[in-house]
């Protein structure tokens, strides 16, 4: 989108995938053990029983146990290889291929999520505790990017509403802000020109909508780093940039929070960013999309209002001028 490319790692320095995989197998086993010790202690000391993980931490390579979801769409799914190599994750570079090449430096365990602001009791939660809190549904969602491409991805998680209820926001809380991890050491490609971390926000009713997914995996496995491991949100009726990755903080507030893209270019990226074929991006139309799916070539198709999720979400915006609040 708007960032200039940072000082890239020479391609000779990037570990070939085969070597990387062998390396990460070992690293993941180690991390799983370390996280079991570290996160277990944290969970036991700070969490009520309901969030205390029953067993140990899942190894990152382990498959997720998922249940079917009523929210699944029947569209042809995008191949795993495409969904995990064509990404936006600017902390790891600005090209679509950068995150898959660079995000192995992200350390996803131990990992905590801080909950603060207008809540009954601020708390720090271990990510594995959050992951085990509710059954994980496999939801096949349409994923629509503001850059006019779309994918259909089976995401694994449960409704964000479940975690929010647990957090007990105060009645005056109107928004929830999400903040991503930022660590220059783990993110040597971090572009300049923005006061990181990546920040996003939702109105409280949007965050409580059952479609808003708290996501831990895709295609039945834990999230690859480039897709936002170990915890992100997926908001299928909004443009992809609202679906913030690698979350470390939820902040409840009565004020509309800052969001990265809105701050960088408020005329191009609004706070709501609902998929809307009737509201053009200033530099291009949003009426059609290029579906990247299992077919031989990407298909161009008309974009539907709210990405096809009108029945579930349109009611939240009744009476709002969506050209003004884009
Ligand atoms: N979250 C963080 N922390 N950093 C990012 O750069 N990019 C956003 C969103 N979440 C981004 C992020 C954008 S622009 C898109 S389109 C989606 O992630 C892409 O998600 P995907 O790579 O899993 O398809």
Nearest to 60 by CA among 116, 127, 109: 109
- Position 225 pLDDT exceeds 60: yes
Mutate which of 142, 179, 182, 241 for ligand 1 pocket (most atoms within 8 A of beta carbon) = 241
Beta carbon of 198 within 6 Å of any ligand 1 atom: yes
pLDDT band at 298 (very low <50, low <70, confident <90, very high): confident
What is the mean pLDDT of the segment spanning 104-115? 98
> Burial code of 22-61, b = ≥16 C-beta within 10 A, e = fewer?
eebeeebeebbeebbebbbebbeeebeeebebeeebbbbe
Which atom belonging to ligand 1 lies closest to the Cα atom of 89? 6
pLDDT band at 293 (very low <50, low <70, confident <90, very high): confident
CATH number of 17-317: 3.90.420.10
pLDDT band at 55 (very low <50, low <70, confident <90, very high): very low
pLDDT band at 296 (very low <50, low <70, confident <90, very high): confident
pLDDT band at 62 (very low <50, low <70, confident <90, very high): confident
Spatial CB neighbours of 251, under 8 Å, sequence gap ≥ 6: 116, 117, 176, 177, 178, 179, 257
What is the mean pLDDT of the segment spanning 225-239? 98
| pLDDT tens digits, one per residue of 116-154 | 999 999 999 999 999 999 999 999 999 999 999 999 999
pTM given for the model: 0.85
Mutate which of 243, 281, 289 for ligand 1 pocket (most atoms within 8 A of beta carbon) = 243
Q: Identify the residue whose C-alpha is closest to ligand 1 atom 4.
A: 89
Which residues, listed in sequence order, are joined to residue 242 by a DSSP beta bridge?
none
- Position 157 pLDDT exceeds 80: yes
pLDDT band at 297 (very low <50, low <70, confident <90, very high): confident
Q: What is d(CA 177, CA 206) in angstroms, rounded to the nearest whole number?
A: 12
**Confidence (pLDDT) at 5:** 44
Number of H helices, E strands in the chain: 8, 13
Tokens of 166: 């647990």
**d(CA 207, ligand 1 centre) in Å:** 18
pLDDT band at 295 (very low <50, low <70, confident <90, very high): confident
* Spans of all domains in the chain: 17-317
Helix (H, G, I), strand (E, B) or coil at 27: helix
**Confidence (pLDDT) at 61:** 59
Spatial CB neighbours of 303, under 8 Å, sequence gap ≥ 6: 144, 150, 275, 277, 286, 287, 288, 289
């Amino acid at each position: 989108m708007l960032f200039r490319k940072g000082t890239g790692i020479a391609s000779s320095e990037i570990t070939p995938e085969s070597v990387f995989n062998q390396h990460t197998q070992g690293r993941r086993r180690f991390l799983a053990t370390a996280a079991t010790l570290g996160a277990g202690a944290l969970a036991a000391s700070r969490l009520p029983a309901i969030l205390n993980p029953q067993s140990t931490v899942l190894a990152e390579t382990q498959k997720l146990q998922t249940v079917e979801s009523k929210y699944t769409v029947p569209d042809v799914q995008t191949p795993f290889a495409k969904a995990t190599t064509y990404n936006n994750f600017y902390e790891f570079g600005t090209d679509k291929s950068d995150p898959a090449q660079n995000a192995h430096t992200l350390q996803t365990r131990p990992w905590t999520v801080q909950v603060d602001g207008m809540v009954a009791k601020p708390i720090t939660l271990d990510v594995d505790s959050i992951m085990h809190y509710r059954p994980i549904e496999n939801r096949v969602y349409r994923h629509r990017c503001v850059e006019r491409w779309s994918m259909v991805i089976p995401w694994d998680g449960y409704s964000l509403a479940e975690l929010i209820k647990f957090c007990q926001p105060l009645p005056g809380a109107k928004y929830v802000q999400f903040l991503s991890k930022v660590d220059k050491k783990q993110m040597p490609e971090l572009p300049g020109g923005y006061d990181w971390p990546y920040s996003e926000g939702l109105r409280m009713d949007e965050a409580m909508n059952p479609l808003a997914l708290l996501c831990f995996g895709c295609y039945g496995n834990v999230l690859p780093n480039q897709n936002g491991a170990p915890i992100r949100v997926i908001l299928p009726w909004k443009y992809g940039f609202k679906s913030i990755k690698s979350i470390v903080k939820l902040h409840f507030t009565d004020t509309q929070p800052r969001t990265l893209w809105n701050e960088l270019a408020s005329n191009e990226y609004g706070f709501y960013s609902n998929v809307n074929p009737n509201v053009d991006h200033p530099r291009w139309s949003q009426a059609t999309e290029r579906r990247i799916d299992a077919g031989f070539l990407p298909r161009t198709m008309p974009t539907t209002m709210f990405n096809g999720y009108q029945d579930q979400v349109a009611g939240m915006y009744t009476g709002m001028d969506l050209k003004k609040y884009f």
